[in-house]
């Protein structure tokens, strides 16, 4: 019996939410190229597409944006919980804890669009509220007149963002909104398959995304660039990492065996900050060098930049603090997690694989 520990290539569901084509490097959201949505629509429109099955009309778009905006404010009990967590608590743990508390108001089964909207709308406020406390600033209340991306930047920086920054962050959170059965989304589906509530399922998904092999990589890309420091140091540093058996953060992917289409799209978005980003030229050089060295050391493994490599450049560009890179990935993925949870609830088949027992058997009793 072959054990497939990573579930590589195991198909467990049919979905019309997204296609992640690792051979051709395609990412499709319900019949739309994700890269086209990233330049032409807002995050709220893409959430509507994923949840309701169609891109919203102008009226639907305005109504949904307003509905999410009205749910952004944190009730006092959530502010108390967020403030009570010890100062050393990382923001992904704060997001996980606060999200689990949202559901404690007894979310009934089955999960609903309203429950999903409540959690998705509050995620940016939870992150920004904790960041303000961590940095000794007065938290800024959400502004209902701003879109999802712009309001997040406003709560973080205390000033309304530029159109360039809003567009760039919208593109990032659209491109990371949904990605098939990645580890965190599959976690959410497993929890939903037991008929547990959506807040529990998203809490579990946040826990999975936190890991550096999954969502924890973008801040590690910044650390890598900082350690490399100069173009001259790129090759020796990267060689040392690979020879030492280390993984290069922002490279490789379980599904994409060609360029991650999100990395391609975000590389174009980061061009809009090329002048402001001290690490832009270094990022271009590190990308080229790493691809060449990974081909040399790991021939046939098809290791290319994944979403995280250029996500770091875009998040740097819109001045998201490095410790908030993964939480920002988390607020984006709330869309895909919820869409899969709603889809799983419809199918409602308990997910329960098997294992092979290799331990000793007791003597016959």
Which active-site residues does the annotation give?
253, 308
d(C-alpha 259, C-alpha 252), whole Å: 9
Cβ closest to ligand SDX, residue 39 vs residue 291: 291
Residue closest to ligand SDX when measured from CB atoms: 252
- By CB under 6 A, the residues from 300 to 319 that bind ligand SDX are 301, 303, 306-308
The single-letter DSSP state of residue 322 is G
User: What does each C-alpha distance from 191 to 61, 130, 201, 334, 353 come to in angstroms?
Assistant: 30, 27, 5, 15, 14
Cβ closest to ligand SDX, residue 197 vs residue 308: 308
Q: Which two tokens stand for residue 113?
A: 């669009």
Binding mask 214-243 for ligand SDX (x = CB under 6 A): x--x------------------------x-
Binding mask 52-71 for ligand SDX (x = CB under 6 A): --------------------
Site membership for ligand SDX, residue 274 (CB under 6 A): no
Closest-CA residue to 180 (of 2, 362, 64, 12): 12
- Quickly tell me which residue has 């869409």 as its tokens: 339
Q: Which two tokens stand for residue 141?
A: 């209340």
Binding mask 178-217 for ligand SDX (x = CB under 6 A): -x--x------------------------------xx--x
Contacts with ligand SDX: how many residues (CB under 6 A)?
22
Q: How far is the CB of 307 from ligand SDX (least distance, A)?
A: 6
Site membership for ligand SDX, residue 328 (CB under 6 A): no
Q: How far is the CB of 320 from ligand SDX (least distance, A)?
A: 17
R_g of the chain computed on alpha carbons? 21
Task: Find the binder of ligand SDX among 56, 103, 142, 252 (CB under 6 A).
Answer: 252
Angle at alpha carbon of residue 17, lines to 21 and 200, rounded to 5° = 115
Binding mask 2-31 for ligand SDX (x = CB under 6 A): ----x-------------------------
Burial letters for 340-355: b for 16+ Cβ neighbours within 10 Å, e otherwise?
A: bbbbbbeeeeeeeeee
Closest-CA residue to 335 (of 87, 154, 89, 68): 68
Q: Candidates 88-96, 127-135, 189-197, 251-259: pick the segment binding ligand SDX (CB under 6 A).
A: 251-259
Q: Candidates 193-201, 268-276, 299-307, 355-363: pick the segment binding ligand SDX (CB under 6 A).
A: 299-307
d(C-alpha 99, C-alpha 231), whole Å: 42
Q: Candidates 23-31, 250-258, 264-272, 354-362: pick the segment binding ligand SDX (CB under 6 A).
A: 250-258
Map residue 292 onto helix, strand or coil: helix
Site membership for ligand SDX, residue 168 (CB under 6 A): no
Cβ closest to ligand SDX, residue 74 vs residue 208: 208
Dihedral of alpha carbons 298, 257, 218, 319, sign = positive
d(C-alpha 122, C-alpha 114), whole Å: 12
Residues engaged in binding ligand SDX (CB under 6 A): 6, 179, 182, 213-214, 217, 242, 247-255, 298, 301, 303, 306-308
């Amino acid at each position: 019996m072959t054990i497939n520990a990573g579930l590589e290539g195991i198909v467990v569901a049919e979905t019309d939410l997204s296609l992640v084509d690792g051979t051709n490097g395609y990412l499709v959201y319900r019949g739309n190229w994700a890269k086209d949505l990233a330049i032409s629509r807002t995050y709220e429109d893409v959430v509507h597409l994923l949840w309701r099955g169609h891109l919203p009309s102008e009226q639907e778009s305005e109504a949904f944006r307003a509905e999410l905006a009205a749910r952004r404010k944190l009730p006092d009990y959530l502010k108390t919980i967020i403030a009570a967590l010890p100062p050393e608590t990382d923001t992904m743990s704060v997001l996980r804890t606060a999200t689990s508390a949202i559901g404690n108001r007894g979310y009934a089964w089955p999960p609903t669009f309203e429950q999903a909207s409540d959690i998705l709308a509050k995620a940016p406020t939870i992150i920004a509220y904790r960041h303000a406390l961590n940095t000794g600033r007065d938290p800024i209340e959400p502004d209902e007149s701003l879109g999802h991306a712009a309001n997040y930047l406003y709560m973080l920086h205390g000033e309304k963002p530029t159109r360039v920054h809003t567009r760039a962050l919208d593109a990032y959170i659209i491109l990371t909104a949904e990605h098939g059965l990645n580890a965190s989304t599959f976690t959410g589906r497993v929890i939903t398959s037991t008929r547990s509530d959506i807040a529990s399922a998203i809490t579990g998904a946040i826990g999975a995304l936190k890991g550096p092999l999954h969502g924890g990589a973008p801040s590690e890309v910044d650390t890598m660039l900082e350690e490399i420091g100069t173009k001259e140091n790129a090759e020796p540093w990267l060689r040392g990492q690979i020879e030492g058996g280390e993984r290069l953060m922002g490279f490789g992917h379980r599904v994409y065996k060609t360029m991650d289409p999100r990395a391609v799209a975000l590389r174009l978005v980061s061009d809009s900050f090329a002048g402001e980003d001290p690490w832009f030229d270094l990022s271009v050089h590190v990308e080229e060098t790493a691809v060449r060295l990974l081909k040399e050391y790991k021939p046939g493994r098809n290791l290319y930049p994944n979403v995280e490599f250029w996500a770091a450049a875009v998040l740097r560009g819109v001045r998201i603090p490095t410790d908030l890179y993964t939480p920002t990935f988390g607020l984006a993925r709330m869309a895909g997690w919820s869409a899969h949870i709603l889809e799983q609830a419809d199918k409602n088949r308990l997910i329960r694989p098997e294992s092979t027992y290799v331990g000793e058997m007791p003597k016959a009793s």
